């Protein structure tokens, strides 16, 4: 509430001025537009125009026979009945529910461990856990793809030397978990850094006070550290949700190694890509992309609302 009041104050005083005299305020308003126009132009070109163009595209259908014609909301009706789209969406939904908590849990654990100050070689750990984030996703996936290889990869070597029979990480039932593993490896360091930065700004005096009151480390974590970094947790969760819904690089690269396990509609993004470039169904691809964007926005917004309500 305290955050809102200055803005409300400003609004009131502006209204007051507007009531005062019309002349100079009008001139001021024109001057204001002058300042804001360059931004608006860039904003419209870079953000609004592509979205508007996608929506425009989604209302047409371009056929090999018969050419391009207006079809209204037909593409949307098709998307809502499209088995391939829903299976991709539920796959990333599952991915979101399982992989994101694991990844954020590990990241939080590592951040707390680094912050505890009891770790020897803290800087080394911090940099080495962050390092995978600096590896491009394409390279990371290729690297893991080779390790997953059941014939020549790491899995093959483990099976050979330990006489185990690990399941094939690239089989249809395991491939989503394998992708989850790659993504976790890539992004634990990134999330850890967000949490760690948030933890560093908590005033030391709170810890001292807690210690005087006789609180143990677990108590300090539960009562001070976690509530203090809730904002960072919400932000990291929202980023991860968006990341999950946009899953593309990893499945798209692994597809060449596991062509039958990863379908062309494995994730909604991969589906849009296949529609557009194998089937030349650009209009339908735009439709799927818009539906997917709306779904992502809704889910991210709900999570944000929930996160913020707890805070209040």
Q: State which of residues 12, 259, 301, 311 lies at the interface with other proteins (CB under 8 A).
A: 259
Using the rule CB under 8 A, is 183 a contact of other proteins? Answer: no
Instruction: Tell me: does residue 280 bind other proteins (CB under 8 A).
Output: yes
Return the number of the residue (150 or 230) whose C-beta is nearest other proteins: 150
- Quick one: which segment of 41-49, 60-68, 178-186, 202-210 binds other proteins (CB under 8 A)? 60-68
Region binding other proteins by CB under 8 A among candidate stretches 43-51, 102-110, 144-152, 177-185: 144-152
* C-beta of residue 262 within 8 angstroms of C-beta of residue 209: no
- Kindly tell me which residue out of 2, 46, 65, 312 binds other proteins, with binding defined by CB under 8 A: 65
- Note whether 264 binds other proteins by CB under 8 A: yes
Q: Residues 36, 38, 39, 43: what is their CA dihedral angle, to the nearest 10 degrees?
A: 130
Which residue's CB is nearer to other proteins, number 195 or number 284?
284
Please enumerate, as own/partner, the contacts of 142-151 that have beta carbons within 8 Å and a separation of 24 or more.
Answer: 142/253, 144/178, 144/181, 144/182, 144/185, 145/170, 145/253, 145/254, 145/257, 148/178, 148/254, 148/257, 149/257
From residue 304, alpha-carbon distances to 292, 296, 308, 309, 310 in Å are 18, 12, 6, 8, 10
Under a CB-based contact definition with an 8 Å cutoff, are residues 289 and 206 in contact? no
Q: Is 289 in the site for other proteins (CB under 8 A)?
A: no
CA angle in degrees (0–180, nearest 5) for 72-74-80: 135
- Contact status: 301 vs other proteins (CB under 8 A): no
Closer CB to other proteins, 62 or 246, in the complex: 62
Q: Does 172 bind other proteins (CB under 8 A)?
A: yes
Q: Decide: is 278 part of the binding site for other proteins (CB under 8 A).
A: yes
Interface residues with other proteins (CB under 8 A) are: 61, 63-66, 149-152, 171-172, 256-257, 259-261, 263-265, 274, 276-282
């Amino acid at each position: 509430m305290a955050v809102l009041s200055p803005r409300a104050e400003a609004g009131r005083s502006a209204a007051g001025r507007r009531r005062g005299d019309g002349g100079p305020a009008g001139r001021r308003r024109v001057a204001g537009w002058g300042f804001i126009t360059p931004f608006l132009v860039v904003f419209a070109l870079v953000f609004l125009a592509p979205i508007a163009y996608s929506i425009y595209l989604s209302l047409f259908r371009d056929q090999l026979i018969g050419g391009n014609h207006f079809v209204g909301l037909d593409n949307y009706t098709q998307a809502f009945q499209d088995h391939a789209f829903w299976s991709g969406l539920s796959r990333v939904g599952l991915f979101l529910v399982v992989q994101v908590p694991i990844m954020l849990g590990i990241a939080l654990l590592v951040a707390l461990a680094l912050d505890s100050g009891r770790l020897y070689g803290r800087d080394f750990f911090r940099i080495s856990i962050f390092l995978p984030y600096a590896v491009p996703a394409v390279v990371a996936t290729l690297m893991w793809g080779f390790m997953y290889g059941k014939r020549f990869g790491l899995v093959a070597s483990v099976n050979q030397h330990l006489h185990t029979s690990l399941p094939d990480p690239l089989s249809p039932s395991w491939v989503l978990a394998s992708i989850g593993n790659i993504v976790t490896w890539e992004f634990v360091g990134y999330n850890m850094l967000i949490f760690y930065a948030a933890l560093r700004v908590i005033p030391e005096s709170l810890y001292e006070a807690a210690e005087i009151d006789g609180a143990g480390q677990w108590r300090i974590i539960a009562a001070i550290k976690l509530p203090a970094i809730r904002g960072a947790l919400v932000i990291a969760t929202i980023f991860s949700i968006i990341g999950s819904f946009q899953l593309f690089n990893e499945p798209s690269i692994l597809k060449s190694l596991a062509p039958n396990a990863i379908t062309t509609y494995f994730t909604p993004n991969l589906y849009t890509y296949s529609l557009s470039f194998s089937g030349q169904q650009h209009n339908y691809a735009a439709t799927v992309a818009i539906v997917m964007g709306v779904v992502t926005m809704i889910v991210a917004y709900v999570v944000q609302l929930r996160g913020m309500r707890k805070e209040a």
